[in-house]
């Protein structure tokens, strides 16, 4: 029997990875959150009905994958498809590990100092060039480069730490 | 595309994550609140429980620490006692040795003994062979007196309202009622509880340690003293003694009391017996 506290712990630790996982099959973040909520609701009902789910994590990822794919087949994909082709080649375990790493990258962005985060997002999310960012924020291009390299180093270190954790 | 098809590169993943990143998006705390409220899960309860159990654990921890500290400070008495007929050898942790006479008791705190000093409490009579330890004074405390030494052999006897100390070797300091005397080899001192005074004797009675050594020496000794020494040595009571003005000269080495009495009776033509 899974206690409410255990369930809450699982919910919180798997929420980000599952949302990011969903985004690999369909492009809308709001839909990703709905899908993950529904997947957890489904599991919660099963647990309350006395059913046992042997591998909760694998089960949730599979459920999110199925729901995301069926949503993607109904609606046209708004995002570019450049990241899609490599998905089917990965094993489920690798996909889960990848999604968990994505979640850690996300959290690492959360923890960046606000100014550095802003510069990083202007570059990587909004696709602005360094000179454009410098002009927008009235700072030197050196500062932009400096902040970018620090932000990228933080994120790479996060990812490396995770690798060591897996294989070490 | 040049890159490995199996494993997307880290920079790809960073770009992927950054593209979807919004502040506050995918917040698991907010998501859980939404989930819990739509499924009737009360989280306040859980918090109360978590705090209560954390507090209980902390309280238990603090209590255990206090209990352990309390236990550490409590003395742990080792008590050795003899009955009216018995006699015991007590070896202390510092390899000093106590010969405990009949109807006596020594005790010491196992935890404190030998830490800064060596404290012994005595009721009755005991003979001490103290291992020399310069840094650890050895003290024998009775109800009224305290005897402190470094390393020596001596006897302390507390009987009938008086404490007597007899030193065989070394030096001994006797303290009672604020008075201090130092006794050296061969000296005796007696403290009368009622009079609150220490009295010194240069020559101790020859047989004061006989109960321990089982050697009795008499040299022109009045019979009253012979009776006293026999009673002390064997822990008996002499019967049929009459004062005749005779004196006894004899040495008895580790003889049973029956043999001693037989020899005395034959020599002095008396009829002593014992109980």
What is the b/e burial string over A118-146, where b = at least 16 CB atoms within 10 angstroms of the residue's CB? bbbbbbbbeebebeebbeeeeeeeeebee
Contact criterion met (CB below 8 Å) for B201 and B189: yes
pLDDT in tens, A8-38: 999 999 999 999 999 988 889 999 999 999 9
Contact B32 A12 (CB under 8 A): yes
Of A13, A29, A98, which is closest to B20 when you measure between CB atoms? A29
B43 at A interface, C-beta within 8 A: yes
Residue at token pair 């489920």: A92
Average pLDDT over residues B69-97: 84
Cα–Cα separations (whole angstroms), residue A2 to A8, A53, A56, A63, B32? 10, 10, 10, 19, 17
C-alpha span between A28 and A13 (Å, rounded): 21
Residue A77's pLDDT band (cuts 50, 70, 90): low
Q: What per-residue confidence (pLDDT) applies to B210?
A: 78
Cα distance between residue B99 and residue B96, in whole Å: 10
Distance of CA A72 to the CA centre of its chain: 18
Residues 6+ positions from B13 with CB-CB distance below 8 Å? A98, A101, A102, A105, A159
Of A11, A98, A125, which has the smallest distance from its Cβ to B21's Cβ? A125
d(CA B123, CA B157): 8
pLDDT at A70 over 70: yes
Provide the Cα torsion A100, A102, A106, A107; round to 10°.
30
The count of C-alpha atoms lying within 13 angstroms of the C-alpha of A140, restricted to the half-sphere facing its C-beta, is 3
Identical fold between B77-201 and B210-274: no
- What integer is the mean pLDDT of B10-36? 91
Residues of B in contact with A23 (CB under 8 A): 16, 20
**pLDDT tier for residue B154 given thresholds of 50, 70 and 90:** confident
Q: Judge: B8–A83 Cβ closer than 8 Å, yes or no.
A: yes
Which of B6, B28, B41 lies at the smallest CB-CB distance from A12?
Answer: B28
The two counts, helices (H) then strands (E), for chain A are 7, 0
Q: What angle do CA B136, B141, B146 make, to 5 degrees?
A: 85
d(CA A148, CA A155): 11
Find chain A residues with C-beta within 8 A of B32's C-beta: 8, 11-12, 15
Query: What residue in A sits closest to B18 (Cα-Cα)?
Result: A125
Average pLDDT rounded to a whole number, residues B15-22: 92
Would you place residue B1 in the very low, low, confident or very high pLDDT band (cuts 50, 70, 90)? very low
Look up the CATH number of domain B210-274: 3.55.50.30
So what's the pLDDT on residue B2? 42
Q: Return d(Cα B66, Cα B51) in angstroms, integer.
A: 22
Q: Which residues of A touch B46 (CB under 8 A)?
A: 4-5, 8
Q: How far is A54 from chain B (nearest CA, A)?
A: 22
CA–CA separation, B40 and B97 (whole Å) = 76
- Contact yes or no for B264/B270 (Cβ under 8 A): yes
Residue with more model confidence, B139 or B48: B139
Average pLDDT of the segment spanning A54-71? 91
* Number of Cβ within a 10 Å radius of residue B97: 15
Domain ranges for chain B: 10-73, 77-201, 210-274
- pLDDT value of residue A163: 57
Contact (CB<8Å) B6/A155? no
Q: Are A83 and B38 a contacting pair at CB < 8 A? A: no
Residue of A nearest to B34 (CA): A37
Q: What domains can you pick out in chain A, each with its CATH number?
A: 1-89 (1.10.1740), 112-168 (1.10.10.10)
Is B22 part of the contact surface with chain A (CB cutoff 8 Å)? Answer: yes
Q: How far apart are CA B24 and CA A29, in angstroms?
A: 12
**Residue A126 Cα to chain centre, angstroms:** 18
Averaged pLDDT for residues B50-79: 87
Residue A88 has pLDDT above 60, yes or no: no
Whether A168 has a pLDDT exceeding 50, the answer reads no
CATH class of B77-201: mainly beta
Q: What is the pLDDT of residue B202?
A: 66
CB contact under 8 A, B6 and A89: yes
Q: Which pLDDT score, from 0 to 100, does residue A151 have? A: 94
Q: Give residue-wise pLDDT tens across range B225-240.
A: 888 888 878 878 888 8
Contacts of B6 in chain A (CB under 8 A): 86, 89-90
């Amino acid at each position: 029997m899974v206690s409410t506290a255990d369930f809450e712990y699982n919910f919180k630790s798997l929420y980000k990875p599952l949302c990011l996982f969903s985004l690999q099959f369909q492009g809308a973040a709001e839909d990703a959150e709905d899908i993950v909520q529904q997947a957890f609701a489904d599991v919660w009902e099963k647990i309350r009905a006395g059913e046992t789910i042997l591998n909760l994590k694998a089960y949730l990822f599979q459920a999110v994958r199925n729901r995301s794919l069926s949503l993607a087949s109904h609606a046209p994909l708004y995002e570019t498809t450049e990241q899609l082709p490599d998905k089917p080649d990965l094993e489920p375990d690798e996909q889960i590990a990848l999604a968990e790493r994505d979640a850690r990258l996300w959290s690492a962005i959360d923890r960046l100092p606000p100014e550095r985060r802003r510069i990083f997002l202007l570059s990587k999310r909004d696709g602005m060039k360094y000179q454009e960012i410098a002009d927008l924020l009235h700072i030197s291009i050196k500062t932009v480069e400096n902040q970018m390299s620090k932000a990228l180093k933080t994120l790479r270190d996060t990812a490396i730490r995770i690798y060591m954790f897996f294989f070490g | 595309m040049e890159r490995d098809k199996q494993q997307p590169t880290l920079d790809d993943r960073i770009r992927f994550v950054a593209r979807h990143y919004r502040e506050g998006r995918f917040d698991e705390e907010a998501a859980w609140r939404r989930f819990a409220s739509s499924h009737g899960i009360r989280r306040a309860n859980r918090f109360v429980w978590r705090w209560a159990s954390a507090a209980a654990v902390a309280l238990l921890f603090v209590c255990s620490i206090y209990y352990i500290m309390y236990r550490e400070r409590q003395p742990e008495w080792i008590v050795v006692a003899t009955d009216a007929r018995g006699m015991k050898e007590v070896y202390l942790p510092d390899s000093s040795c106590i010969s405990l006479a009949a109807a006596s008791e020594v005790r010491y705190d196992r935890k404190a003994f030998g830490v800064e000093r060596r404290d012994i409490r005595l009721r009755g009579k005991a003979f001490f062979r103290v291992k020399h330890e310069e840094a650890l004074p050895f003290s024998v405390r009775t109800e009224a007196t305290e005897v402190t030494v470094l390393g020596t052999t001596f006897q302390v006897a507390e009987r009938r309202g008086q404490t007597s100390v007899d030193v065989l070797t070394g030096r001994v300091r006797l303290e009672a009622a604020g008075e201090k005397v130092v006794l050296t080899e061969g000296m005796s001192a007696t403290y009368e509880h009622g009079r609150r005074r220490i009295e010194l004797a240069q020559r101790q009675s020859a047989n004061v340690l006989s109960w321990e050594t089982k050697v009795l020496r008499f040299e022109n000794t009045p019979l009253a003293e012979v009776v006293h020494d026999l009673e002390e040595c064997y822990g008996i009571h002499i019967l049929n003694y009459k004062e005749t003005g005779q004196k006894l000269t004899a040495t008895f080495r580790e003889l049973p009391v029956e043999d001693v009495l037989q020899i005395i009776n034959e020599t002095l033509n008396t009829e002593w017996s014992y109980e």
